[in-house]
A = this chain, B = another copy of it.
Amino acid sequence: MAGEFKDRVTIYEVAKAAGVSLATVSRVINDTNSVKEETRNKVLNVIKKLGYKPSGLAQALATNKTTSIGVIVPSANYVYISNMLNGIIEICKNKNFTVSLYTTAHSRIDAISSIEKMIKSHVDGVIVFDDELNEEDIEVFNSYNVPVVAINNQIVASKIASIPFGYEHVLKRLMLDYFNKGDKTMTFLHVHNAGRLLSRIENCFIQTHLEHDREYGIINCDDSYNRTYLDFKERFKKVKKEFVIAYRDSIAAAVLNAAEDCGLKVPQDIEVISIIGTKYSSIIRPTISNLYIDMQEVGKRSVYMLVDLINNQLVDKVYKFESYYIKKDSTKF
């Protein structure tokens, strides 16, 4: 429609204007081979004058490398995920990779379609932190020769590396310790469809209680601050003593706020821990005891591993992150 359309400058036009062949221009761009200083400068000047920028598309098509990676997560809206994302992006900047972001919103359909799109777009590698995708799905990438780093998921395959999280060990020790010194029944907040990590931890929770012949509670809870707050305001009308294990800080905060609003004391009456601690664990009052993994570091590490995987020089395909317990004011110990 608009007549002022200004076409992209191509390598060919640069060559013409500089009076050389396009091969020479290509050499200058990639400073490969040797080009006479004189012609190099001539070409560089023309490039600057014309505002030429090589087409990443054409380069990618010719070299079979896009220097872009795909990242797939359930949502960008969780603090621990954006922390990870930030780590990923930071290292990608150093390594000159571009990040394409895909979210599943806990929908398997979205997850599958994301895989399709990534393969179509020739990403050089993929970082997966999403429970909608199982081992089989991830191996689809491999069949298209796309390396994958799977976070919170231990998979072994040729072009797949993984970063598993260690929560069970710490949690179990925490629980055993509490069995000795604590005075409350522990209740686990089960969230429907919240992924494998939470399930694993829930299993650990149950298992440990069974092994030691202890009573425990499990209650369903929405993955929402407001719902959980309301549920617990109701619950705390009857229950006056409880140790609650919540998935995230927001959920833990909902329990804490409900407790306070019901006149219960933390940690005397109610104790709470958050499994995935973030900086909000220290901001919210009372501060929330939590199991911590530095997600920014996870993000960084995942890129390091992926880049090595892409270059066929990754030695150790598994890099485990152990969580550690940070005692704050929401628990006694």
Contact = CB atoms under 8 A, between A and B. Distances in A.
Interface of A: 1-2, 4-6, 8, 51, 53-58, 60-61, 66, 68, 75-77, 79, 81-83, 85-86, 89-90, 93, 98-103, 105, 110, 116-117, 119-122, 143-145, 158, 225, 250, 253-254, 257, 260, 279-280, 282-285, 312
Nearest to A287: B257
Given A76-B89, A101-B99, A121 B56 contact: yes
B120 A53 contact: yes
Contacts of A68: 100, 121
A54 B120 contact: yes
Q: Which 4 A-B pairs have the closest CB atoms?
A: A56-B120, A56-B121, A82-B82, A76-B85
Contacts of A250: 279, 283
Contact of A61 (B53, B61, B89, B283): B61
A19 to B, nearest CB: 25
Given A90-B103, A250-B283, 14 more contacts: A53-B120, A55-B61, A56-B120, A57-B61, A77-B83, A82-B82, A86-B103, A98-B121, A99-B101, A100-B100, A225-B283, A257-B285, A260-B285, A280-B283
A292 B226 CA distance: 18
Contacts of A105: 90
A285 B282 contact: no
A127 to B, nearest CB: 13
A216 to B, nearest CB: 27
B117 A98 contact: yes
Contacts of A225: 279, 282-283
